[in-house]
């Protein structure tokens, strides 16, 4: 059944894909502090701020479902300016939750982050793993999660959370100093330069294509009875940064070797998602494997 859906952060990497996917079945409205850069989404997009009461009030009219992608996503920026980070990620989320509840939104999906977990105590990481974030960004995303779950208990709105692990896509901004490791590696290889690895490269991550995250978003919006639930979203496969670099070099056709620099302070050593809950509850299975995703980026 078609309905009006609000997607926040609609100009961003994930939000833009979410808009495109949901437009197949629903009437979508997007809001972002940046003007919409994708032509097909300009007609559904509004420039506005999730921290602004009036901006949110104007876009929530007639909205039945909300997908909250908007966020300050840089760990580095959250360290440099924690007040800005909290304003965007905590106050923005609370404002959106409150106004959505008051507007009788039926379903609210909060896009969280694996950064809420901190240093893993065990892997693969399931949804009941302790949350001990080690960055201001992780703390802000966890606060948003806790507020979302409180609204799940205290309002008639059905609220659930999705925790994406390391997602990537051609829409990640290669010019940003805050880009993920895949984007950085691909950007250097496209310029004929070797990828630069921080540390020994044996640290592992769980990489998932943004389009697979979008599929889980669509599955969660379609399924009832998820109130107060959290779902991991990853591939379920650990990939070392060294293997990532070697594969990316091979796919690029260049004859270079990775360069190594000192490790980052506080870098997480191992990270991989346990996605059993998403598979069993939602029928979620990622479709784009890492080599396929890398080849697409290197084209």
Q: What is the pLDDT along the chain (299 residues), one digit of tens a residue?
A: 889 999 999 999 999 999 999 999 999 999 999 999 999 999 999 999 999 999 999 999 999 999 999 999 988 999 999 999 999 999 999 999 999 999 999 999 999 999 999 999 999 999 999 999 999 999 999 999 999 999 999 999 999 999 999 999 999 988 777 789 999 999 999 999 999 999 999 999 999 999 999 999 999 999 999 999 999 999 999 999 999 999 999 999 999 999 999 998 888 999 999 999 999 999 999 999 999 999 999 99
**Would you call 47 helix, strand, or coil by DSSP?**
strand
pLDDT at 1: 82
Indicate the pTM of the whole model: 0.97
DSSP 175: T
Catalytic residue among 17, 38, 110, 137: 137
Cα–Cα distance between 155 and 161 in angstroms, integer?
16
Active site annotation includes 168: no
pLDDT at 190: 96
Cα–Cα distance between 150 and 205 in angstroms, integer?
30
| Domains defined for the chain, CATH in brackets | 4-167+209-233 (3.40.50.720), 170-205+237-273+288-298 (3.90.25.10)
pLDDT at 264: 86
In sign, the C-alpha dihedral spanning 41, 45, 49, 53 is: negative
pLDDT at 133: 96
Cα–Cα distance between 258 and 141 in angstroms, integer?
33
């Amino acid at each position: 059944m078609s309905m009006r859906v609000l997607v926040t952060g609609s100009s961003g990497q994930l939000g833009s894909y979410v808009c495109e996917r949901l437009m197949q079945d629903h009437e979508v409205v997007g809001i972002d502090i940046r003007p919409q850069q994708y032509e097909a989404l300009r007609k559904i997009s509004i420039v506005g701020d999730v921290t602004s009461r009036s901006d949110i009030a104007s876009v929530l009219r007639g909205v039945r479902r909300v997908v909250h992608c908007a966020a300050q996503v840089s760990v580095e920026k959250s360290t440099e300016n924690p007040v800005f980070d909290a304003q965007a990620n905590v106050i923005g989320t609370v404002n959106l939750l409150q106004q959505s509840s008051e507007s009788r939104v039926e379903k609210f999906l909060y896009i969280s982050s694996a950064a809420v977990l901190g240093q893993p105590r065990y892997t693969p990481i399931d949804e009941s793993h302790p949350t001990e974030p080690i960055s201001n960004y992780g703390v802000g995303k966890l606060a948003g999660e806790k507020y979302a779950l409180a609204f799940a208990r205290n309002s008639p709105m059905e609220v659930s959370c999705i925790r994406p692990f390391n997602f990537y896509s051609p829409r990640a901004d290669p010019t940003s100093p805050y880009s993920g490791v895949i984007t950085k590696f691909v950007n250097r290889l496209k310029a004929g330069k070797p990828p630069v690895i921080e540390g020994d490269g044996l640290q592992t991550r769980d990489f998932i294509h943004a389009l697979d995250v979008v599929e889980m978003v669509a599955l969660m919006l379609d399924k009832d009875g998820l109130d107060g639930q959290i779902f991991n979203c990853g591939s379920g496969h650990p990939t070392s940064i060294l293997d990532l670099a070697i594969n990316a070099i091979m796919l690029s056709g260049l004859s270079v070797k990775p360069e190594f620099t000192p490790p980052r302070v506080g870098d997480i050593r191992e990270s991989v998602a346990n996605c059993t809950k998403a598979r069993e509850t939602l029928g979620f299975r990622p479709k784009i494997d890492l080599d396929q995703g890398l080849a697409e980026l290197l084209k």
